[in-house]
Chains A and B, each alone.
Chain A
Amino acid sequence: GAVVSQHPSRVICKSGTSVKIECRSLDFQATTMFWYRQFPKQSLMLMATSNEGSKATYEQGVEKDKFLINHASLTLSTLTVTSAHPEDSSFYICSARDSLSPYNEQFFGPGTRLTVL
Chain B
Amino acid sequence: QKEVEQNSGPLSVPEGAIASLNCTYSDRGSQSFFWYRQYSGKSPELIMSIYSNGDKEDGRFTAQLNKASQYVSLLIRDSQPSDSATYLCAVNRAGTALIFGKGTTLSVSS
- The number of residues on chain B lying at the interface, defined by a beta carbon within 8 Å of a beta carbon of chain A, is 23
- Please report the C-alpha to C-alpha distance between residue A104 and residue B99 in the assembled complex, in whole angstroms: 12
Task: Provide the residues of chain A in CB contact with B45, threshold 8 Å.
Answer: 108
Tell me the dominant secondary structure on chain B's binding face. loop
Task: Provide the residues of chain B in CB contact with A108, threshold 8 Å.
Answer: 36, 43-46
Nearest CB of A to B41, in Å:
8
- Please report the C-alpha to C-alpha distance between residue A60 and residue B110 in the assembled complex, in whole angstroms: 44
Asked if A67 CB lies within 8 Å of chain B CBs, one says no
Task: Provide the residues of chain A in CB contact with B97, threshold 8 Å.
Answer: 34, 46, 49
- Contact between B43 and A103, CB atoms less than 8 A apart: no
CB-CB contacts below 8 Å: B23-58 with A:
31-32, 34, 36, 41-46, 49, 51
Give A contacts to B, CB under 8 Å. Answer: 34, 43-44, 46, 49, 91, 93, 95, 103-111
Give B contacts to A, CB under 8 Å. Answer: 31-32, 34, 36, 41-46, 49, 51, 88, 90, 92, 94-95, 97-98, 100-103
